[in-house]
Structures are given as C-alpha cells and as structure tokens.
Amino acid sequence: MPSTITLIYCTFPDEKILKTVCDTLINERFIACYNIIPIQSCYWWKDNIENEDELVAILKTLPKKIDSTIAKIENLHTYEVPCIMNWEVNCNEKYFNWIKENVT
C-alpha cells in the first residue's frame, strides 16, 4: 500500500514571515515539518518585471489536511498573491507513519 503525503511549496519574502506562518502550522499540527530553501525569483508584478530574493518552504502534511492548511497559509501570509502549490508523493512507510503521528 502506498504511503502518500502532500508536499506544499510556498514562497515568502523573508525568514521572519516564513517562520511566523510555518511555526504556526507546526504548532497547530497542520504540518509535521518544513524545509527552507533560499531562491532568486523573477516575475511580472503590476506591469513590471521584479527580481527578488525569496525563501521557499516545503511543508509536509497528509492529503486530508491540504484544504485547511492552504486556507491557514492564505490567512497568515503577507503576499497579496501568495504562491502555494502542492502535490502528492509516495514515501517510505516509516516516514509516512511519522508524518501521520504528527499531523492531527
């Protein structure tokens, strides 16, 4: 039987905002853990091309928690249009069980 979890990819302008959002998600057990990756982003915003340093958080949760987790991120995020993407992945059983124990 596959052990399926959901990964959420979300960008943030700085570590303070990322930690505020992601630590809330951890403390309220929406997610089991997250990883932080620095990136350089280039994008259209209000008729201008922007180049910014950002941070990506990759959050790990269960598929049944995706809608509530996205709603919580949108509520806490400071971006007018936050980037929130998700996909389901299979993982090893021990890791799946750990995620399941830490997400309620």
**Does residue 91 form part of some domain?**
no
Q: What is the pTM of this model?
A: 0.95
Distance, CA of 82 to CA of 73 (rounded, Å): 9
In terms of residue numbers, what domain contains 55? 14-85
Tens-binned pLDDT, residue by residue, of the chain (104 aa): 579 999 999 999 999 999 999 999 999 999 999 999 999 999 999 999 999 999 999 999 999 999 999 999 999 999 999 999 999 999 999 999 999 999 99
What's the Rg (C-alpha) of the chain? 14
In this structure, is residue 4 part of a structural domain?
Answer: no
The total number of structural domains that make up the chain: 1
CB atoms within 10 A of CB 17: 15
Domain CATH number, residue 20: 3.30.70.120
2 burial (CB, 10 Å; 0-12 / 13-18 / 19+) is exposed
